[in-house]
Amino acid sequence: MSHTLHRQGTPANLDNDFPMHALPARGFNHEGALPKLKQFLAIAHRHNPVNLGDVKLGNKYVTAYDELYEQLTTSSTHAVLADKDDLTALLAEVKAADLGMSLTISGLFARLFACCDQAGIQPHAVEHSLGVLGKTEQMPEAEIAQITTMCGHAMVAQGLVRRLIGKVKKGEMTPAEAGIELAKPCRCGIFNPARAAMLIDEYCALFTVTVR
């Protein structure tokens, strides 16, 4: 089970969204894992990540990369890429490094399988979300949920999304700035601010937002 599994969206706006985490397994390879996780973080940092993070230290928008690297913990190391070529290059470098860490990546299956194939990697297992069950009428509309579900721990509130959309509509901030603000509460660093900016820009173009 992965907290990156339930991102909502369309094939078009999920096409360049690749959240991932390297995770040691307690009782198997947890001892001595820190240098390997640091190596993964350094590899991810070289391939244009739109986010990086450690659940105990925060993401790159609240904790500088150097501090993340120096103080990294053995909990789980996260990164988000927004380009298939960057992902392919990262996978090839991770394979060559032979870290011995489980690497979980979420995204559209066809895109992920193509990147793995180009990097010479055979996926070990596949997980598929069955969707959200229960009182779905209490969930926000799809346009908002596409943003909030990029934080698997539900730390990005729909109220914050709506407030920042209003600020963008009034010209008080850009979609890119709003995307970064939304990324900050997602402590572990799997939120994609570049995709959030794109979604907010589309939302503002398509819908009337009441500005008070």
What tens digit of pLDDT does each residue of 164-209 get?
999 999 999 999 999 999 999 999 999 999 999 999 999 988 766 5
Q: Let me know if residue 129 belongs to a domain.
A: no
CA torsion sign for 90, 155, 3, 110 is: negative
80 in a domain, yes or no? Answer: yes
Q: What is the pTM of this model?
A: 0.93
Q: How many domains does the chain have?
A: 2
* Structural domain containing residue 59: 18-119
Q: Is residue 28 part of a domain?
A: yes
User: Is residue 169 a part of any domain in this protein?
Assistant: yes
The answer to whether position 8 is within a domain reads no
Measured between alpha carbons, how far is 141 from 115 in angstroms, rounded to an integer? 32
Residues 151 and 94 in one domain: no
CA–CA distance from 104 to each of 24, 32, 36, 124, 205 (Å)? 11, 20, 15, 10, 34
Tell me the three state secondary structure of residue 20: strand
Which of the four pLDDT bands, split at 50, 70 and 90, describes residue 39? Answer: very high
For residue 167, is it within any domain?
Answer: yes
DSSP SS3 for 102: strand
Which residues are registered as beta bridge partners of 79? 20, 52
| Claim to verify: residue 31 and residue 109 sit in the same structural domain | yes
